[in-house]
Chains A and B, each alone.
Chain A
Amino acid sequence: MSGRGGIFQLAGAAQGSALVLSRPLSFWGGIDAETGDIIDRSHPDLGANIAGRVLVMEGGRGSSSSSSVLAEAIRLGTAPAAILLARPDPILAVGAIVAESLYGKAMPLVVCDIAGIGSGDRIAIAVGKDGAAIVRRF
């Protein structure tokens, strides 16, 4: 796959193994920030772990408290290496921005076409010359 373009909600470079969720996940009530485990009992990916993965989903979902959970996960090192979304999500964006501001840890959050990405694909995210995101499989 050649690179696909994307828009950063929070800019940065990262790479990791894709974890593609079949349904959007609310971080609040859905992620244990201490471990990175998916704990939402109604979610099809219950039991998977997001730490260090490139998390891929359509969009965010649910309570604004998800901002805090994402920020806390980034602080603890249990957050994904990056998140790819098909639709922008203000709540996850806030969590990522706050964590970068507090802890200097940039977890890239990218809005892009997520079609064709499968769990386990190796994904690299880079910052293009124009500041846009470049998402590649390698």
Chain B
Amino acid sequence: MTFELSAEDRSMLQGEQGPAVAAAMKILVAFAGAVGARSLLDISAAHIDGCLYHGQAGLDFVERLVDGAGRVKVQTTLNVGSLDLIHPELVRMPEGRDAPARRLMKAHMDLGCQATFTCAPYQTRFRPSFGQQIAWGESNAIVFANSVIGARTNRYGDFIDLCCAMTGRAPAFGLHLRENRRGRILFELEGLDADASDATFVGVGLIIGQKSGDHIPVISGLPAPRDEDQLKALGAAAATSGAVALFHAVGITPEAAALDDAFHGEPPRDVIRVTRADIREAVAALSGVPDGAPLSAVCLGTPHFSHDEWMRLLPMLRATDRGKRTPIYVNTGRATLERLTAEGALDDAEALGLVPVADTCTYVTSVLRRLDGAVMTNSGKWAHYAPGNIGVSVAFGDLADCVRSAAAGFVVRGAR
């Protein structure tokens, strides 16, 4: 099997476009070989999940590209970092970690990446379009771009997402190619209400993640979502409990107008029935504490809260007696925060007990002030990762439950 390089690829590889591009192309070609691609293809955007500081090697890699006068070749957005550069006082880093974490975020900006620092780049002005070839990192962003928008990316990660951005190329394999986007497993949902709760979408996501393995899931019987944020929650959960990079929801997502479209006219290899009880059970497994457990915080916005989500939350909070004033941390993109600030929407944030967090996320870094009680969240992803990452007990609930519980100071569910 031969690997085909274009003249432009060879030029990059041979160093004609500088040492940074040559280094990126060398890594990309080796990666392409390892995944069995035969050639590279053009991409028009990238999203880099490289700003979380994990160690010196990651920083060395990016600074080497900066030293080689590297610039990204395509529009490139950045995922969250370890710090909130907008509210630096919020994050407490261990001694000696703050400086390299800051340098890592800055080095990416020096390469020409956009300082978005959000895990929901699909809800910024950099949202890709249907059919667009992109190279994205960050599991929830990948599944949203592929499934809800119909853009095309594989699950890229450490180093490779940036090598794609530096060269404008990606290996021609996997989900970049139409034939590999065919659904394989059918999940038939039974008996769901038309106006399904947010938790239902999270539960469906958890189940398809757990049961799809490497195969592309197709969901039938999913109620029409209230908005794309419910599909965002579903995708984030599926990419948390499993390795889902693309799902089709019949009649809802763009490559699944009908069942046949999702399966490209072929039969599913497996059919799995999902009942309301299955969904309830999957959601219940996210909670490590019972109703009534005392709360030290509520964490929302994993993935980053959209403007629409803020517009649902704020009236809910204003209509609730603040009671115990449990702090409500909300992760959001800095662009969303700027818009809300300009609109005056956050003028009463402090009185409402809100702590907006930008550029990072409350489960990857040390933001929460109190860890003595449980933390409540409406995010399947946060509920899954936070106990291991920051050592908290979690209660999962709908947004309305989270608001009511924050006021009560303990876990209250069934607020609908």
B164 to chain A, nearest CB (A): 12
The reply to whether B57 and A90 contact each other, CB–CB distance below 8 Å, is: no
The reply to whether B54 and A65 contact each other, CB–CB distance below 8 Å, is: yes
- A109-137 interface mask toward B, CB cutoff 8 Å, 1 = contact, 0 = none? 00000000000000000000000000000
A29 to chain B, nearest CB (A): 8
- Which residues of B have CB within 8 Å of A69? 54-55
Stretch of B6-14, B151-159, B182-190, B272-280 contacting A (4+ beta carbons < 8 Å):
B151-159
Q: Which residue of B lies closest to A33 (CB)?
A: B55
Main SS class of interface, A = helix
Stretch of B29-37, B256-264, B334-342, B400-408 contacting A (4+ beta carbons < 8 Å):
B29-37
Task: Please measure, in the bound complex, the distance between the C-alpha atom of A65 and the C-alpha atom of B157, giving whole angstroms.
Answer: 7
Task: Please measure, in the bound complex, the distance between the C-alpha atom of A102 and the C-alpha atom of B57, giving whole angstroms.
Answer: 8
| B137 beta carbon closer than 8 Å to chain A | yes
Given A75-B56, A101-B23, A102-B64, are A64 and B157 neighbors across the interface (CB < 8 Å)? yes
Range of interface residues on A (Cβ < 8 Å): 20 to 34
Stretch of A13-21, A49-57, A92-100 contacting B (4+ beta carbons < 8 Å):
A92-100
How many residue pairs between the two chains, A and B, have CB atoms under 8 Å in the bound complex? 80
- Which residues of A have CB within 8 Å of B26? 97, 101
- Which residues of B have CB within 8 Å of A66? 158
- Which residues of A have CB within 8 Å of B30? 9-10, 93-94, 97
| B411 beta carbon closer than 8 Å to chain A | no
- Which residues of B have CB within 8 Å of A103? 60
Task: Please measure, in the bound complex, the distance between the C-alpha atom of A33 and the C-alpha atom of B54, giving whole angstroms.
Answer: 10
B163 to chain A, nearest CB (A): 9
| A63 beta carbon closer than 8 Å to chain B | yes
| A71 beta carbon closer than 8 Å to chain B | yes
Q: Which residues in window 44-87 of B have CB below 8 A to A?
A: 54-58, 60-61, 64
| B160 beta carbon closer than 8 Å to chain A | yes
| B27 beta carbon closer than 8 Å to chain A | yes
The reply to whether A72 and B27 contact each other, CB–CB distance below 8 Å, is: no
The reply to whether B159 and A98 contact each other, CB–CB distance below 8 Å, is: yes
Q: Which residues of B approach A to under 8 Å, CB–CB?
A: 23, 26-27, 30-31, 34-36, 54-58, 60-61, 64, 137, 155-160
